[in-house]
Structure 1
């Protein structure tokens, strides 16, 4: 699995030449400051609460009916009863009805610790986190990246995923269980040749 790629990491602020002073502007934190993430390397907890639901319905009906009727009663030069009851009639009917419904629902909940990998000029934080959980021969990998406005960081240094912009959430597995859910290369080959 490819390593997690940062969105667009900003350059770390230059701390300048060591002056021997205990005060460094680039790393300064007020004594009574709420310790929220705001510098590169800081960590914060992302509460993932994503829920997406979409429903689409369509219905159409077409009904068309036609009728034609004709009769021949008299022709010049012939007796009026020569053709008897000659006539022609035709009917046509066309009916079409179609219905379609499509529904999709996804729910993702959990939490992950993310690291600030960049600070934008407007103060927004670029964050990225990865969590791997291995049980026996199976490994589940959760990756999260996004952009956070520091004003949305709650006390306790946590933020809801719904308050994060440009969110990318990826959950994948490695091992026998993940392999069982995928098609083999030969099955994919025949599926491309015979899509039906």
Structure 2
């Protein structure tokens, strides 16, 4: 029995430690990499004409991104704020008192003791209160590339930016959908106008490690700890 308990405790600890392992992000992720020149090249039709659709440039255009491989600057103006509070309380009081039964006017007894049930007052109380406030903001910019153009004209954009500091690295990754009409004249767009946006800002290195709790601390505050 003791051996089974030890195995169960070891299994729970192993599962908890496995969940605590965090994957370290690395640069040059293929998903966020820009389009390679080979994918941008298209076969030039042999028509005998000087004009070619593959090399056409609109001299009257405004320079906004419309094709695969074009570049767009995303202005990060994210700000979120949330607040939540909850309060619960209840109490319960119970009292049981069963008098001694009688037969023909005489009280029943067993072994010289009267038969009856009498329980003192039983009372239970609970009160809980919780409050959570959270606010986040992210300002800056990142330049991404167009990876695809959907049939409705929306642009699929994504890209990443890495900053190598003296004590680690910081990175920003952005992906989402852009409507061409939302792009400003300077070929930029606010991050709040990205559909299905995925914005990731984090870091690696000594400074980031000091802001993270150790694996043993995460085990004691994890869902597997009974207290």
Distance 1:192 1:69, change over 3 A: closer
Deviation, 1:27, is: 4.3
Query: Matched residues in 1 for 2:173 and 2:119: separation?
Result: 72
1:44 to 2:82 alignment: no
Q: Is the 8 A contact 1:12 1:118 kept in 2?
A: no
Q: Give the match for residue 170 of structure 1.
A: 200
Deviation, 1:25, is: 2.0
Match of 1:132 among 149, 162, 168: 162
Deviation, 1:153, is: 1.0
Deviation, 1:166, is: 2.0
Query: Matched residues in 2 for 1:56 and 1:119: separation?
Result: 40
Q: Give the match for residue 81 of structure 1.
A: none
Match of 2:136 among 94, 106, 116: 106
* Residue deviations 1:35-77 (CA, integer Å, cap 9, x gap): 21001121111111112222222222213344567889x9966
Q: Is the 8 A contact 2:64 2:183 kept in 1?
A: yes
Q: Is the 8 A contact 1:146 1:166 kept in 2?
A: yes
* Residue deviations 1:100-124 (CA, integer Å, cap 9, x gap): 2223222111111111122122211
Match of 2:180 among 150, 157, 161: 150
* Residue deviations 1:109-167 (CA, integer Å, cap 9, x gap): 11111111221222111112222223335332222121111121122111111111122
**SS at 1:50's partner residue?**
strand
Q: Larger % of helix: which? A: 2
Gaps of 5+ in 1: 79-87
**SS at 2:65's partner residue?**
coil
Q: Give the match for residue 125 of structure 2.
A: 95
Q: Larger % of strand: which? A: 1
Q: Give the match for residue 84 of structure 2.
A: 56
Superposed, 1:77-88 pairs within 5 Å as none
**SS at 2:177's partner residue?**
strand
Match of 2:152 among 118, 122, 137: 122
Gaps of 5+ in 2: 1-25, 107-117
**TM-score, normalised to structure 2's length?**
0.64
Query: Matched residues in 2 for 1:139 and 1:132: separation?
Result: 7
